[in-house]
Structure 1
């Protein structure tokens, strides 16, 4: 440490003393006013118990131990009734909001690439009554175009207000809604549309022109396409007999006097509400059949873990609505009178890729109180902020670290650091609008480092959830008072969870007296009806027990802690047994190594006939380029990634991080391939929820696998 740094260290002694003095003076009133004692008791209490007394379960929440919850509002047993109830309660209040588009500009980058930048205005809002009118008109317009109750209708569209209006129209008139991710490839879309046999499709002009147009001749039953945009569409080049309509024109059709009296055939709880096509991480997408009572039970369980949900809340919708996490989150928000402002990953913050420099991102304008995210997005936020911290001067950096570590210790004890929140973390919190009171994370494991960062810098609890499309996204969510990491909480009040033994000894050979573990099975009214038009092996993961309860076998491996909270240990399909007999959990390795500063994304890979793990890495371009310059390596980004010296440097950091978090020797990748291209849903290498598509990644890097394993 040089003289300057010694001087700074001495200068910080009064700061440390001041923080200690502040804690001593304010602790007692803060402790009393914030119900800390009650929160600590809630954190430490047993949250779920086994109904049989066996360690394997089934486990149920102690808050609904003797029966499973099926609905929040008595008599509101279908989705249309829920929305109707919300309209009656919250009529004139804001419901769905969309930002006004002011202008678009092309911005040329130093590399010569041209990026489209947006300048956006304020949010324009539809009230609950406005949305109800739009829903009714659109539904009657669809009937006028020949759509029949209990006949499927598809939506292939980005997340936006029109998506939710379409969904509510379908729920109201008993049209089972078939959903597809906006990033699915042409072949997958054609397959799903043909399998579901839809005659009507709702989409956007962009998706229609870029993805659908080329495969329309292959789609057998399609008669009507409704595009949600207000822009005009050139109808030349589309198949004969296929009718194209704007959403506005269909609403006008539904508003005509002759269509106002259309009889509504309301759904029953057992009627099909949604056929949700998965993102296809394990191959061809499958349509999960979800009935009304499934969704209502699942949302009942989820909402119980979000205290104070109501009209004062603003939710920001930007994840794919074709994902069960986002769809159930938004329907739940509408049920409780929240307002939903729409966004996208490209416009979320002031620094987002489509926001013109100097303009405001969606979070800055909307200032949401609630938001959901997948770990990939949270990891990006964490790395971006910490990268900026590293660029600070010594004084600022030291002050930030001092506050960060101080608050970390407070959080671990179940306390907080209000002074740090106001003085030091206010700017970081402003990245998401400065008003977020709770975040929900799901879709994949979240690293401890990222979890703690979100707690500290965004000054709010982070609920880590676990669920699948097949269980309506419901399984478990950590309680607000729970300050632990690495766990996914106790079972929700709508379901129970048990473990099915695997008998695969060896994975925990280093543990002392490991708790019982096994494949996670979720049972309850939220478990869906299986896969659409699939028989035999495809539905073997669903079963009904002797009591008539549905169960789903998740394929994930978990263990229960003494307080009834679940921890995901492994993924059955991610487990590889190496040549020497050790089991490696690829997902565990990836989650641990995402904390490397040089890494944006990583896929671990292992062959059972080999004795070591290898990896494919999407490197952080800014960090790796800086390192390359320090090593005297010049060239394009692709040349830097292909340089053996840079591979060794990344591998060196991987090894250091792996050892620091105590990965086993056999779990640490010993070879790496740097990818010059990012893995996005558009590349087909990850899903819309940014889950790795292992089969596609293996095929993509096949030559590199042979090279790293020294194939002859």
Structure 2
């Protein structure tokens, strides 16, 4: 048979099959009758009842970890890169930056990790930690964090998790409210603790993780506080010398009090039991294909975030390897990586990773900037390859299939995949909705599906999850097998379960993954948690969603983010921000709507390189980036760009900001303007820029 005819026939056949499959779209979620408030409820199509545990005889996280360590004895579990040197590099303008020279990953196998856990667990008791007292882990994501967590579980010690970027007020609140007696921390975190030592009511012991240069902080802590100060290694040695029998928890015991990152006001402590977290892990086991000991997971998100904590617990459960990194050393070009040194992804070559949308947006923008900066034939080649693959994913027989796909992967996308090590087979995105544009871009460039999940700290990250073979964008999948998802009417916002063509309403999540509530905050707990007549616990999310005919959920709004303008139009701030952030000039954006006016405005964190490149092309003179952001030509250019993005997203005219203020400084967790998960702290930003916002409405 003529090979050209075959080359034509195969794509056509595939295209027809895909089209037929889409017409007869299979159900991923099915409607179910549930108790509680009336609504439209859906369950996972494979499980009639919510799953509680995937592992026979395992009902707690402590049991799950011990089981894995006995099954995967000599397999590598915890990997850390050796620090070879720190160097300071000077930049124009007198600023200096720390650069790290990192070596290869050094590993602890499952047996060694279990021994470390048992020793540290015993050491905590020998150090004086009492039954019913709580431990706080206040550190960056690293192997010691995981060891400390599992050690606490073996003694049925509730762990209080605190973001390393948390401010002083929120830090004091979290430690005092939970009456923590022992804190495990790193060098930067020890500095913060010393600064607020006079405001801490119950802390008596501090265990510091051994780091280069920490001796000054240790000496200061010993001289200025009454705390017992001991190193992480020393606590492990105490346990080695005098082992203590394990005090294993019950499924209903609180494993973690996880403090939210506080996008509104002081953080709230969510009480998660062992069975809550185990339900989520068990559900995800049924969704991600062939998880196992051949997988390598890159850990770099905060372990104080439920997405990362659950992901690492799942990796350990299946015998995978966990290599630790950080957002500042992730790739070969990351800000803290010394030139010529491999980034974490290149050194580890992971097969799995989690990411929040803000991280994936940065990867997309970084690739785009590099391609656009190269220009010429290389840019044309990338664009052609991308559009050919996009056509194929969308089901067109004219797209790149088979050998042509392999050709584009080799010529173009292989270089992009090398950024994250070249072996990624699955990416989990959670924490916030991911734009369809970014999802498609990452999917094509990495050649791996992105599983979008939807869940909250209050549901142990459980809620929905898109399946491996679901190539749709903009949705967050069907209910996880541990959860029922119910939509209830919100008449004030105009969202009803009787809406056509899809039922819409506030998202309520029920199942064994729904947590006990907020620590010492009964009023707030009673406001958003409800138990129905059948004993099912439900959490009212405040998010607005709609169900597609196949049972998959799409997040479309947020109750708290809706503002009514002067003439009665409603503006969903989050929806508008998600549409406008695709502008190449936008690093971050907060839309603001004043109910006493008929238009909205925005604070735009300007994308440094893009705006400077435009200014250079236009011949605009400026002294520094702050000066450029004040120039009317720059403001006009960015305003035009976001207006274009708004029109492409089919926003209404009143939804597109009429005026903007360009912000030269990035919003980081350290600045206190975004959370550790990079979500906007609206009230903090409004207060910080209240004069600028007032001027926009003047």
* TM-score, normalised with respect to structure 2: 0.94
Gaps of 5+ in 2: none
Matched, 1:557 2:544: yes
Determine the structure 2 residue equivalent to 1:189.
171
Determine the structure 2 residue equivalent to 1:251.
236
Could you tell me whether the CA contact under 8 Å between 1:570 and 1:588 is conserved in 2? yes
Between stretches 53-62 and 102-111, larger displacement belongs to 53-62
1:634 positional shift: 1.6
Determine the structure 2 residue equivalent to 1:6.
none
Determine the structure 2 residue equivalent to 1:51.
32
**Quick one: structure 1 residues 366 and 22, their matched pair in 2 at CA, closer, same or farther if it must change by over 3 Å?**
farther
Determine the structure 2 residue equivalent to 1:480.
468
Alignment of 1:472-551 (within 5 A): 472-504=460-492, 513-551=500-538
1:49 positional shift: 1.1
SS at match of 2:52: coil
After superposition, the C-alpha distances for 1:334-385 in whole angstroms (9 at most, x for unaligned) are: 0000000000000000010000112110100100000000111111111111
**Quick one: structure 1 residues 658 and 74, their matched pair in 2 at CA, closer, same or farther if it must change by over 3 Å?**
same
Alignment partner of 1:349 out of 325, 328, 331: 331
Determine the structure 1 residue equivalent to 2:203.
222
SS at match of 2:154: helix
Between stretches 586-595 and 416-425, larger displacement belongs to 416-425
Determine the structure 2 residue equivalent to 1:268.
250
1:461 positional shift: 0.2
Could you tell me whether the CA contact under 8 Å between 1:597 and 1:620 is conserved in 2? yes
After superposition, the C-alpha distances for 1:297-351 in whole angstroms (9 at most, x for unaligned) are: 0111222221111001000000000000000000000000000000000000001
After superposition, the C-alpha distances for 1:623-665 in whole angstroms (9 at most, x for unaligned) are: 1112223152322111111222211111011111211221111
1:393 positional shift: 3.5
Could you tell me whether the CA contact under 8 Å between 1:488 and 1:568 is conserved in 2? yes
Between stretches 338-347 and 622-631, larger displacement belongs to 622-631
Determine the structure 2 residue equivalent to 1:585.
572
After superposition, the C-alpha distances for 1:267-323 in whole angstroms (9 at most, x for unaligned) are: 000001000000000110110000000000011122222111100100000000000
SS at match of 2:389: helix
Mapped partners of 1:626, 1:388: distance in 2: 13
Determine the structure 2 residue equivalent to 1:62.
45
Could you tell me whether the CA contact under 8 Å between 2:495 and 2:504 is conserved in 1? no
**Quick one: structure 1 residues 505 and 693, their matched pair in 2 at CA, closer, same or farther if it must change by over 3 Å?**
closer
Mapped partners of 2:59, 2:238: distance in 1: 30
Matched, 1:337 2:324: no
Alignment of 1:251-330 (within 5 A): 251-256=236-241, 259-260=242-243, 262-330=244-312
1:88 positional shift: 1.3
SS at match of 2:298: strand
Determine the structure 2 residue equivalent to 1:667.
655
**Quick one: structure 1 residues 185 and 112, their matched pair in 2 at CA, closer, same or farther if it must change by over 3 Å?**
same
SS at match of 2:118: helix
Alignment of 1:108-147 (within 5 A): 108-147=90-129
Determine the structure 2 residue equivalent to 1:3.
none
Mapped partners of 1:677, 1:39: distance in 2: 50
Could you tell me whether the CA contact under 8 Å between 1:507 and 1:584 is conserved in 2? no
1:704 positional shift: 1.2
**Quick one: structure 1 residues 398 and 58, their matched pair in 2 at CA, closer, same or farther if it must change by over 3 Å?**
same
Alignment partner of 2:420 out of 432, 438, 441: 432
Gaps of 5+ in 1: 1-18
SS at match of 1:424: helix
Matched, 1:24 2:8: yes
Mapped partners of 1:619, 1:22: distance in 2: 50
Determine the structure 2 residue equivalent to 1:242.
227
1:22 positional shift: 8.8
Alignment partner of 2:586 out of 562, 576, 599: 599
Mapped partners of 1:310, 1:227: distance in 2: 33
1:176 positional shift: 0.3
Mapped partners of 2:4, 2:132: distance in 1: 65
Mapped partners of 2:347, 2:332: distance in 1: 10
Determine the structure 1 residue equivalent to 2:600.
613
Mapped partners of 1:230, 1:581: distance in 2: 57
**Quick one: structure 1 residues 365 and 409, their matched pair in 2 at CA, closer, same or farther if it must change by over 3 Å?**
same
Alignment partner of 1:656 out of 644, 647, 651: 644
Number of residue pairs the alignment of both structures matches: 681
Matched, 1:443 2:431: yes
1:525 positional shift: 0.2
After superposition, the C-alpha distances for 1:467-502 in whole angstroms (9 at most, x for unaligned) are: 000000110011111111110000000010101101
Could you tell me whether the CA contact under 8 Å between 1:61 and 1:493 is conserved in 2? yes
Mapped partners of 1:141, 1:695: distance in 2: 43
Could you tell me whether the CA contact under 8 Å between 1:269 and 1:292 is conserved in 2? yes
Determine the structure 2 residue equivalent to 1:149.
131
Matched, 1:75 2:60: no
**Quick one: structure 1 residues 41 and 662, their matched pair in 2 at CA, closer, same or farther if it must change by over 3 Å?**
closer
1:422 positional shift: 2.3
Determine the structure 1 residue equivalent to 2:77.
95
Could you tell me whether the CA contact under 8 Å between 2:122 and 2:245 is conserved in 1? no
Please provide the CA RMSD for this pair. Answer: 2.3
1:148 positional shift: 2.7
Could you tell me whether the CA contact under 8 Å between 2:502 and 2:549 is conserved in 1? no
**Quick one: structure 1 residues 223 and 427, their matched pair in 2 at CA, closer, same or farther if it must change by over 3 Å?**
same
Determine the structure 2 residue equivalent to 1:4.
none
**Quick one: structure 1 residues 183 and 21, their matched pair in 2 at CA, closer, same or farther if it must change by over 3 Å?**
farther
Determine the structure 1 residue equivalent to 2:687.
699
